[in-house]
Amino acid sequence: MTMATIRHEGLKAWIDETARLGQPDQVCWVDGTEEERSRLAKRAIARGFVIPLDQDRYPGCYYSRSNPNDVARTEHLTYICTRKREDAGPTNNWMSPEEGYAKAKEIIQGSMKGRTMYVIPFSMGPIGSPFSKIGVEITDSLYVVLNMLIMTRAGSKVLDHLGTDGSFTKCLHTRADLDVRRRLILHFPEDNAVVSTGSAYGGNALLGKKCLALRIASWQARQENWLAEHMLILGIEKDGKTDYVTAAFPSACGKTNLAMLIPPRGLKAKGYKIWTLGDDIAWLRVGRDGRLWACNPEAGFFGVAPGTNSKTNPNAIATIRKNTIFTNVLLGDDLSVWWEDGEGEPPASGTSWDGKPWTPGLRDADGKPVPGAHPNSRFTAPASQCPSIAPNWEDPQGVPISAIIFGGRRERLAPLVFEALDWAHGVYAGATVSSERTAAAVGKVGEVRRDPMAMLPFCGYNMGDYFGHWLQMGGRMSCPPKIFHVNWFRKDENRQFLWPGYGENLRVIEWILARCHGKGKAARTPIGFVPAKGALDLAGLNLPEGAMDKLLEVKAEDWAAELDGVKVFFDQFGAALPKELWRQYDALKDRLKTKVPA
């Protein structure tokens, strides 16, 4: 593919303009063929951007290390650039488009000198599906190209679909000099554009993912009456019938593990089969049948490595056996990869994520263990390699959703599961999710923050309007999914997890689906319905005496105290917060004062 063969004048003009600004040595159009991918991988090896792993043990796999200052999303450097500040809302950083473009221009000017500028046409969602959107990423990073080829459907076939005047998101990325002072992730939803500078890691640089598929798409979804959400999609098959659920959890709270769940021994006899459709992002549209339908816009998984092993996620381990890029894990001297709480023994010696010599048991000057892998180290793997990938995961019509599950990581407060009273109450439950911070973004790990619908870092507009959009979407469906809230992370008084999690979470999903089908016994509490005693199938689980009571306990005084934090959070939106959410708040406050009979 060359510039001469491009038929889209708008695209050509943008590529020309960017090349004049960045001044690369050459422009290379990515056609998406296997032959080209292999050539680019060789080039990346020759230039030292990636290292091939032992190809007998890890066929088609590469290792990459990012700059040690560039290992997670940087929310404080991520901006929504809208003409009106209130359109970004109080939870986003805002910059005017003029200032954003001016700052970007200064950084991009000449930043690609001596490099190749790659142009990657890509589709989020199956090419041609009514769900899908097209993007074109310009990048001077070969690492980004190799990752985009896994995470999206990319190449000439996308250009063919774009035609001469199709619309696309302009995604401009330059790693510049990787200096944090020149790191900016700028979104221009009014222009359908993203500019990212100074980072070459994950969500900051693979612009189809968080930037397009969530921040820009959430803006478009509001205008076009659909939803772009930070959700996994899971299929649960039993007796020849499959139900689909979506679940939104904050970053690094186990979405990938849940999406690839394996039924626990106690439930196997019931004949469950679990299908993976997506582990991070769902685009949802109302179907002609009045139900909500979901599609995963991505083509790969960018999963957290530490903690992934054949007990926690055997499907992920099988997925990453080949054609996978490992970033910031430990590189063994034998060209193996390893991470904390991973598979098997570490290699006898290797190089840690930050490029230092590493041996098992290594400790720092204070005697603290030195990890080999960064806590936010990742694998990038094709979704098609997942043993549990659903046969219909690329269905252009998506799949119908029975339940939406919100969740957070809370040591206390939230019970294992509760069902919202109705759609509006479910939106309130999603809007008030709070969670302890993880390593996925720069910030203090463990700190509790509100993360409504797990979208706080990813909503491309005012979250007050976002809640309003969610509320009105309920009215567009004659058969809306039921909404639930889960918390796998509740701890006892000794700070030990009460629930085993992982595959055992199917027990909770089984109750959720029973509720969706008008079955499943429940007890009404002020916050919603929780499973009645004995309603969860716990066969073969052997939970300690009293654990289930603790897991399902709803302490009215704790929930009442939580309302103070909710009020502070809601207050910041002023008039943009839908009145319905204040009505829900007041109603919950009242219910917490009244003893509700079981």
> Which residues are at the interface with ligand O2Y (CB under 6 A)?
72-73, 201-204, 251, 280, 302, 376, 440-441
Residue 72 CB neighbour total at 10 angstroms: 23
Nearby residues of 32 by Cβ (< 8 Å), 6 or more positions away:
149, 153, 154, 155, 156, 157, 158
Binding partner of residue 484 among Mn ion, ligand O2Y, none, CB under 5 to 8 Å per kind? none
Which residue, 229 or 394, is less far from Mn ion as judged by CB? Answer: 229
Query: Shortest approach of ligand O2Y to residue 248 CB, angstroms?
Result: 10
Q: Indicate which residue of 28, 81, 253, 516 is catalytic.
A: 253
Query: Shortest approach of Mn ion to residue 251 CB, angstroms?
Result: 5
Binding partner of residue 73 among ligand O2Y, Mn ion, none, CB under 5 to 8 Å per kind? ligand O2Y
Which residue, 189 or 250, is less far from ligand O2Y as judged by CB? Answer: 250
Q: Token pair of 32, please?
A: 């998406």
Query: Shortest approach of ligand O2Y to residue 457 CB, angstroms?
Result: 7
Greatest extent of the chain over all pairs of C-alpha atoms, in Å:
73
Query: Shortest approach of Mn ion to residue 476 CB, angstroms?
Result: 26
Q: Which single residue is written with the structure tokens 């969740």?
A: 407
Which residue, 73 or 173, is less far from ligand O2Y as judged by CB? Answer: 73
| Contact call for residues 90 and 124 (beta carbons, < 8 A) | no
Q: How far apart are CA 277 and CA 281, in angstroms?
A: 10
Q: How far apart are CA 254 and CA 161, in angstroms?
A: 35
Nearby residues of 160 by Cβ (< 8 Å), 6 or more positions away:
none
Please say whether the dihedral angle defined by the alpha carbons of residues 394, 396, 402 and 408, taken in this order, is positive or negative. positive
Q: How far apart are CA 459 and CA 82, in angstroms?
A: 13
Q: How far apart are CA 284 and CA 221, in angstroms?
A: 9
Which residue, 332 or 457, is less far from ligand O2Y as judged by CB? Answer: 457
Query: Shortest approach of ligand O2Y to residue 375 CB, angstroms?
Result: 11
Which residue, 207 or 581, is less far from ligand O2Y as judged by CB? Answer: 207
Query: Shortest approach of Mn ion to residue 268 CB, angstroms?
Result: 30
Binding partner of residue 201 among ligand O2Y, Mn ion, none, CB under 5 to 8 Å per kind? ligand O2Y
Which residue, 445 or 479, is less far from Mn ion as judged by CB? Answer: 445
**Angle subtended at Cα 310 by Cα 306 and Cα 314, rounded to the nearest 5 degrees:** 105
**Coil, helix or strand at residue 504:** helix
Strand positions, DSSP E, 502-578: 522-525, 528-531
| Contact call for residues 274 and 313 (beta carbons, < 8 A) | no
Which residue, 251 or 351, is less far from Mn ion as judged by CB? Answer: 251
Query: Shortest approach of ligand O2Y to residue 252 CB, angstroms?
Result: 7
Query: Shortest approach of ligand O2Y to residue 77 CB, angstroms?
Result: 12
Q: How far apart are CA 157 and CA 297, in angstroms?
A: 16
Nearby residues of 449 by Cβ (< 8 Å), 6 or more positions away:
434, 435, 437, 456
Which residue, 383 or 441, is less far from ligand O2Y as judged by CB? Answer: 441
Query: Shortest approach of ligand O2Y to residue 64 CB, angstroms?
Result: 13
Strands 378-382 and 325-327, sheet pairing:
antiparallel
Query: Shortest approach of ligand O2Y to residue 187 CB, angstroms?
Result: 15
Q: How far apart are CA 38 and CA 144, in angstroms?
A: 15
Residue 171 annotated as catalytic: no
Closest to 88 in 3D by CA, of 205, 183, 189, 168: 189
Interface contacts to Mn ion, rule CB under 5 A = 251, 280
| Contact call for residues 194 and 441 (beta carbons, < 8 A) | no
| Contact call for residues 371 and 340 (beta carbons, < 8 A) | yes
Q: How far is CA 219 from CA 73, 212, 224, 278, 475, in A?
A: 20, 10, 9, 21, 19
User: What is the DSSP code string of 354-386?
Assistant: TS-EE-TT-B-TTS-B--SS-TT-EEEEEGGG-
Q: Which residues of 84-115 are buried (b: 16+ CB within 10 A; e: fewer)?
A: eebbbbbbbebbebeebbebbeebbeebbeeb
Q: Which residues of 250-264 are buried (b: 16+ CB within 10 A; e: fewer)?
A: bbbbbbbbbbbbbbb
Binding partner of residue 469 among Mn ion, ligand O2Y, none, CB under 5 to 8 Å per kind? none
| Contact call for residues 300 and 202 (beta carbons, < 8 A) | no
Binding partner of residue 118 among ligand O2Y, Mn ion, none, CB under 5 to 8 Å per kind? none
Query: Which region, left, alpha or beta, applies to residue 290 given φ > 0 means left and ψ of -120 to 50 means alpha?
Result: left
Query: Shortest approach of ligand O2Y to residue 266 CB, angstroms?
Result: 30
Which residue, 307 or 360, is less far from Mn ion as judged by CB? Answer: 307
Q: Which single residue is written with the structure tokens 């040690």?
A: 68
* Enzyme catalytic residues: 253
